[in-house]
Chain A
Amino acid sequence: MRLEPETEARNPALRAATELSALVGADRLRTPEGREALAADVIVEPHNADELSAIVFKCEVDGIPLAPLGGARTLCELRRTHVTLGVSLARMTRIIDYEPDDMTVTVEAGLTLGALNQTLAAHRQHLPLDPPDPPSVALGALIGAAKAGPLRLSEGAVRDLLIGVRFVGHGGRIVRAGGRVVKNVTGYDLMKVMTGSHGTLGIVIEASFKVRPMPERYTMAVLSCRDAAAAFEAAARAHDALPLIHIEVTSPGVAQNLGVAPDQFGVIAGLCGNRSEIDYQCERMRWLCGDAKCEIVQLASALRLYQRLRDFTLPVAGLSARIATLPASLAQSLQDCGAEFCAHAGCGVAELFMPGELGAEEAATLVARWRAIAIGARGHLRLLSAPPALRAGLDFFGAPSGGVLALSRRLKAAFDPSGVFNPGCFIGGI
């Protein structure tokens, strides 16, 4: 990238860029593009672990805040200030090891979920983590933000599938934990520690996952219900009776956007198995749904609807949040919140959407109210996105208890004593 020498002395980002150019080569640096500008001043694209190690060491010595771009981008909807250096792993996208019969895969963290699943699909396998828009989700970001989707009900979340990790930590140390085997209790579980840490403890460069066979057949049962209570009741009955792979409940606004259950609450159940199992489950679903309308969606139509469901987000500027409660309390909590929602009903997790324009005070009050509802149902709530003008007044995560916060701060201090890894936008200001 081109640098303007006269501003370099005054601008820490430019100074960092100059020095990093000398360290790893100017071709590793670029200016942020599009939304990246909200997250970082300069982007560095290391080609391997050693380069990243040198970069991290340099940043610590010079006090340059840095963040993995995936993590920074996920939080860019929320962050108030950017980091100086965004680390893109776009050049670290190799599949290091994939043995289909082992059902494990080891990859560099810059590879996207979409690209990985394309490779796995040749062996009728997949990494069953399904956040929105897999082709744009780097696996490092998937881990950092602990992203999940509808399949979490049957396949679990990142923490359940990540079996090994390598990351660049403080001092530029390259640290490894776990391994390539599906069952392993050798040493401390750093995989859990890195999952959901939003790049605040180091930068994940390599990951090993368990992968799963793709379902033999996949079919959906879609129910339309007049009210939320009936929808959640039907979802609970189905979840209780059948080994569903997902069970989603959508509010009328969301259902309409998905093209299901117009003006009604939608229940979307995922069924899989061999032909007899699918036939049995469809029949059970029809029986379970009572008066509600039950439509069976199959084959390509089922896959298309699943993708719309997975990728869904309301295309409006406003607040969105994720609420998690005890599953049986979710229906009441969502009703109390009074927003459009898309719920992973079996898990007790839902995304809330408040599409309208809000004033700063109004937004803060709303978030506080939602959070109180979540806590009342023994759960929690975090913001997923908010307009930039509102961010300063919003509490994204809510305060953890004193004991948890103290341990979290100790963890941060142990793993990032210089405080350079994605500072200032995680729980408790970490």
Chain B
Amino acid sequence: METNGGGASPIDEKLRAELRAIVGTGALVERASELKVYECDGWTIEKSRPDLLVMPRTAAEVSATLKALHKRKIAFVPRGAGTGLSGGALPIQAPVMICTSRMNRILSIDLANRRVEVEAGVVNLHVSNAVHADGYFYAPDPSSQMACTIGGNIAENSGGPHTLKYGVTTNHVLAVELVLPDGEIVELGDPAEDRWGYDLVGAVIGAEGTAGIVTRATLKLLREPQTRQTLLAIFPDVESATRAVSATIAAGIIPGAIEMMDRLIIRAVEAAFHLGLPDDAEAVLIIELDGLTAGMGERLTRVSELMRGCGAREVRIARDEAERANIWKGRKRAFGAVGRLAPNYATQDGVVPRTKLPQILRAIASIAERHRLRIGNVFHAGDGNIHPIVLYDERDADEVRRAIEAGRDILRACVQLGGSLSGEHGIGAEKIQEMPLLFSPDDLMVMTELRRVFDPEQRSNPNKIIPTPGACVEVAAPHRQAAL
């Protein structure tokens, strides 16, 4: 049987027995039919099935599992909820998958210090839910927050719409418990701020699971703002919408979020949710302001004026929570709405300096034309983090090829405009070949040296982030939609 290692499986009966003794029979998935679920994450274009899945419940079990693998020099891939969008949890020459989703306890909530300590498998939204009634929240809010885990967020340094004001995962994690690839458990950071010494926590966050397996984390909580107000501005063209984004920022206003949808997405959203968006609108901005109730009226007026000044033909302010929720429903489910337009889609995650948004949107339009594809845009405009959605049909091999090529062209355009390959989805397997567009061989070598500090044998999630020769996966026609 062809295995993930590419030859005869290194997983023998003795190892299976050892792992069963560590985690229990029920925490091991061995049957090929059950393992099929784990052959990809939200990046569905590439697929590769692990030979074995282990689902430990404690750091000690993770440690014992990794020690058993370390003895045999077997590579492994960590996995949270599998909602990642760049193939970070795709096993590539890593026969064993270790899933942290059973480690799902919130260990302590300390409101006086605005700290919460969680196991890695806790779902992102559950953290905010646990403290919401007391007036606190956990800021990073990826669109998959109903499913994705804190461990996965740490691996990918996840963002979300509200990162414009509040920052991404790395800004909200103070300490982690990390199981190194040789099984040693280390505590990095502590619950106090201003840690001295090397920022090892910062090195592990965003390392995409290549530094070992994070099993526990201490997170910072924020106080809920007194009020949130959402407004929706409708523009006759994309350029004036992007100008309005810059004008808002230039006025010294940092909204909680600024999101943009272009015509293709507006139509899809309208067809699905009937928000009353005009059929001929070319661009919509969703702006959320948060803060003190006292100054909110002035601020809303100011932003509305800025929108109109930049050419908005209509500005709607959500009058109540129901209207606000409705506007956000359109944004957060935009991906789902797009599902009505084409059998398949792939989401890109490039990022450009905010002022280059008009250029990148023009570039995307011309890339779409060149490859004879439809590409919609719904994205975090305040951050310059674009999410072009490339529509295609997996039954058409040529269209799949063009979709992949269009994605690469978009990333090249981002880099040419002074941007970067990924704002929040990670490099994973998806964008690994594009890394040399941005970094020199020396840059990549030093990054590899950093990775080897934690994982000298490069057995933790091998063949990710930094391109190496010889890594291969099956590029299959996708049969499952990307997660949101």
Which residues does A use to contact B, with CB under 8 Å? 99-104, 124, 146, 148, 152, 156-157, 159-160, 169, 173-177, 179-193, 195-197, 212-214, 216, 236, 240, 242-243, 273-277, 279-281, 322, 324-329, 347-349, 374, 377-380, 382, 397, 400-401, 403-404, 407-408, 410-411, 414-415, 426-427
Contact = CB atoms under 8 A, between A and B. Distances in A.
Given A148-B194, A236-B112, 9 more contacts: A243-B225, A243-B291, A327-B112, A327-B114, A329-B113, A379-B190, A411-B203, A414-B453, A415-B450
A188 B445 CA distance: 11
Interface residues of B, number: 89
B197 interface: yes
B384 A190 contact: no
Contacts of A380: 190, 192, 195-196
A173 B424 contact: no
Nearest to B293: A280
A165 B78 CA distance: 29
Nearest to A123: B250
A152 B220 CA distance: 14
A424 to B, nearest CB: 15
Across the A-B interface, give the 10 residue pairs with the lowest CB-CB distance, nearest first. A192-B202, A403-B186, A379-B192, A213-B252, A280-B294, A277-B295, A324-B192, A188-B447, A328-B112, A183-B383
B235 interface: no
A285 to B, nearest CB: 13
Given A192-B170, A400-B197, A183 B443 contact: no
B450 A159 contact: no
A221 to B, nearest CB: 15
B450 A411 contact: yes
Contacts of B171: 156, 159-160
Interface in B236-258: 246, 249-250, 252-254
Nearest to B86: A185
- Name the residue in A183, A191, A213, A414 with the highest tally of chain B Cβ atoms < 10 Å from its Cβ: A183
B191 interface: yes
Given A100-B250, A277-B292, A403-B186, A408 B200 contact: yes
A200 B18 CA distance: 43
Contacts of B143: none
Contacts of B445: 173
B184 A403 contact: yes
Interface stretch (B68-76, B317-325, B414-422): B414-422
Contacts of B198: 193, 196-197, 407-408, 411, 427
Contact of A183 (B156, B193, B423): B423
Contacts of A426: 197
Contacts of A169: 446
B398 interface: no
9 contacts: A102-B353, A159-B171, A183-B351, A186-B422, A186-B431, A188-B447, A196-B198, A275-B295, A326-B110
A189 to B, nearest CB: 5
Interface stretch (B96-104, B329-337, B434-442): B434-442
B447 A177 contact: yes
A219 to B, nearest CB: 13
Contacts of A101: 246, 249-250, 354-355
B319 to A, nearest CB: 20
Given A186-B421, A273-B292, A176 B443 contact: yes
A14 B225 CA distance: 61
B299 interface: yes
A189 B384 CA distance: 19
B202 A193 contact: yes
A104 B292 contact: no
A231 B197 CA distance: 31
B193 A427 contact: no
Contacts of A176: 439-440, 443
A415 B193 contact: no
Nearest to B382: A182
A309 B8 CA distance: 67
Contact of B449 (A159, A160, A185, A414): A414
Contacts of B385: 181, 183
Nearest to B184: A403
A204 to B, nearest CB: 13
A401 B186 contact: yes
A322 B194 contact: yes
B91 interface: no
Nearest to A242: B292
Nearest to B427: A186
Contacts of B440: 176
A157 B192 CA distance: 14
Nearest to B349: A185
A174 B454 contact: no
B328 to A, nearest CB: 20
A104 to B, nearest CB: 7
A397 B196 contact: yes
B127 interface: no
B299 to A, nearest CB: 7
Given A324-B195, A378-B191, A404-B200, A190 B450 contact: yes
Contacts of B249: 101, 103, 213
A177 B353 contact: no
Given A173-B446, A177-B447, A403-B187, A273 B419 contact: no
B205 interface: yes
Interface string B133-170: 00000000000000000000000110100011001101
Nearest to B225: A243
Contacts of B163: 183
A288 to B, nearest CB: 14
B451 interface: yes
B197 A196 contact: yes
Contact of B423 (A160, A181, A324, A379): A181
A324 B167 contact: no
B465 A188 contact: yes
A390 B359 CA distance: 60
A242 B293 CA distance: 11
Contact of A104 (B112, B167, B353): B353
A427 B197 contact: yes
A324 B193 contact: yes
A175 B380 contact: no
B272 interface: no
B199 A181 contact: no
Given A197-B198, A407-B200, A408-B200, A175 B446 contact: yes
B197 A397 contact: yes
Interface in B430-480: 431, 435, 438-440, 442-447, 449-454, 465-466
B468 to A, nearest CB: 14
B425 interface: yes
B373 interface: no
B229 to A, nearest CB: 14
A404 B197 contact: yes
B193 A349 contact: yes
B407 interface: no
A324 B369 CA distance: 56
B225 A273 contact: no
Contacts of A329: 113
A240 B136 CA distance: 10
A124 B157 CA distance: 30
A188 B207 contact: yes
